Structure 1
Amino acid sequence: MAASLPEMPDSNGFTRHRNDDLEAARRVQKLIDSPSYVQADQDAEFLQRPEMCGLRLQLDYWKAEALLKAHAVDHTIVVYGSTRIASNSRYYAIARALGEIVGRAPATATLPKLTVVTGGGPGIMEAANRGAFESGHASVGLNITLPHVQYPNPYITPELCLRFHYFAIRKLHLLERAMAAVFFPGGFGTCDELFEVLTLLQTGKIRPLPVVLVGEAFWRKAVNFDFLWQEGLVSAADLALFSFAESAAQTWETVNRWYESAR
């Protein structure tokens, strides 16, 4: 909708309309309608320009940061895994049970109250959010814009259902408050996240935290960790950065035991 033209006082102090000068009115209207006149923070086309990438990165970060702070999401457990795992899968059931355990678990002397965080999609992510939902506790979904539409799963707390454009900012928020990271079977995306977390721990770029791989048979077949060690490409200490578990209870016990031993 075009902006309405203001009334202007004439030289004698009487109010007149710019319509008294139709040509001037048309010129002013053209200026108001010009893309250059749109306020910068309201100019969607301008904000999408390549040179505005740095600003968009900041917006991606700060919107999520503000919301997480506002809802007191301070300490989290991040659950990763495939979007393709069906709801009748054993791993879906384990992730769902883990979400419920975490949702119901109180803070302890060694571990604060944790909030479940996932990538917000279907499969394992849905299962973990669902378990937290069924426990009556809030959970977070950090969705990402993809070439194919991926809707958020229905079990995320509405106020904590976020969407990112940049994978880098999403990855940052997945780990920024993480007290533990749990990896269920998955494909390229899950493996990418796993090796990124292990690399950050290996290089001391993030504070130490327990990493649990659910399904030892799957992970040992998917990644030959022993071969990497035998080839001298990782150290024995690197292989100690993660543990295996087969159930929700074992996963949660591993996380708690890690913090008890770290005291």
Structure 2
Amino acid sequence: MSSRFDNFEEKREEKIRKAFKERDWNEIKSADSWAIFKVIAEFVEGFEKLSKIGPCVSVFGSARTPSDNPHYIMAEEISAKLVRHGYGVITGGGPGIMEAANKGASSENGKSVGLCIKLPFEAKGNIYIDPDKMIMFDYFFVRKVMFTKYSQGFVVLPGGFGTLDELFEAFTLIQTIKIGRFPIVLVGKAFWEGLIDWIKNTLLEKYNYISREDLNLFYLVDDATEAVKVIDDFYSKYLLTPNY
């Protein structure tokens, strides 16, 4: 029996072979036209389902975090507090930190949104998402538009490549003024301090690839109360409005 890793490698090799396969114009036109309609359909469903959810905060973090991990417990606590303070919660809809955040929101009868992505190893949302607020995406880029368009803040717990992708997407869009300025809260000083040191010492001081003001794009906290306070304090000065 082949392992899950072997199956992934087969899929990766299949995509590489497909990329080099010669196709005639009719094949290209047909495939691209179908992809365009699929992308449009995902945008339409996302806009329809999320346009009326009200102020929400997205919570990001690893799908691999077990339920007895302190980060899982922290995500659940933060989300429950967010709901008590008047926010809904949006996650990527999967297990781990995402499940914890949806669980915390659901425990307080708050809005619990799941923007799920179809993956070979993760094909359904967690059980704590509101049934009418779960959306399944094929395309990462459409999903990321929904996160930034309908979130009034990001709370980012420890995670892997996907979490970092979402974090730096938010940094870039705010830095280039493509979306409104909203608070980005990094939770877990021990986890994030190495990355922050690299941003300061390498990106800024050594290479001057960012501005010193860019260091103000995020907040670093270590507990649930402080994380929610950052969101509250930020919006005590601003009206809650969509980012696009």
Deviation of 1:262 after TM superposition, in Å, equals: 4.9
Normalising by structure 1, report the TM-score.
0.75
Aligned residues: percent identity? 36
CA displacement, residues 106-160 of structure 1 (integer Å, 9 cap, x when unaligned): 3xxxxxxx21000000011001100001001121000011122332111000111
CA RMSD of aligned residues (A): 1.5
Match of 1:68 in 2: 50
* Contact 2:94/2:122, CA 8 A, preserved across alignment: no
Ranges of 4+ aligned residues in structure 1 off by more than 3 Å: none
Match of 2:211 in 1: 235
Counterpart of 2:72 (choices 77, 92, 102) is: 92
Alignment coverage as a number of residue pairs? 207
Query: Per the alignment, in what secondary structure is the counterpart of residue 220 of structure 2?
Result: strand
Match of 1:51 in 2: 33
**Does residue 252 of structure 1 match 2:228?**
yes
CA distance in 2 between partners of 1:259 and 1:63 (Å)? 28
Whose radius of gyration is greater, 1 or 2?
1
Q: After superposition, where does 1:99-114 map in structure 2 within 5 Å?
A: 99-106=79-86, 114=87
Normalising by structure 2, report the TM-score.
0.81
Deviation of 1:217 after TM superposition, in Å, equals: 2.0
CA distance in 1 between partners of 2:224 and 2:180 (Å)? 24
Runs (5+) with no aligned partner, structure 2: 1-29, 240-244
CA distance in 2 between partners of 1:96 and 1:59 (Å)? 32
Q: Give the direction of change, closer, same or farther, for the CA distance of 1:262–1:74 in structure 2 (3 Å limit).
A: closer
More helix as a share of residues? 2
Query: Per the alignment, in what secondary structure is the counterpart of residue 129 of structure 1?
Result: helix
* Contact 2:50/2:150, CA 8 A, preserved across alignment: no
Query: Per the alignment, in what secondary structure is the counterpart of residue 66 of structure 2?
Result: coil
Query: Per the alignment, in what secondary structure is the counterpart of residue 113 of structure 2?
Result: strand
Q: Which amino acid aligns with 1:236?
A: R
Runs (5+) with no aligned partner, structure 1: 1-47, 107-113
CA distance in 2 between partners of 1:178 and 1:138 (Å)? 13
CA distance in 1 between partners of 2:132 and 2:110 (Å)? 13
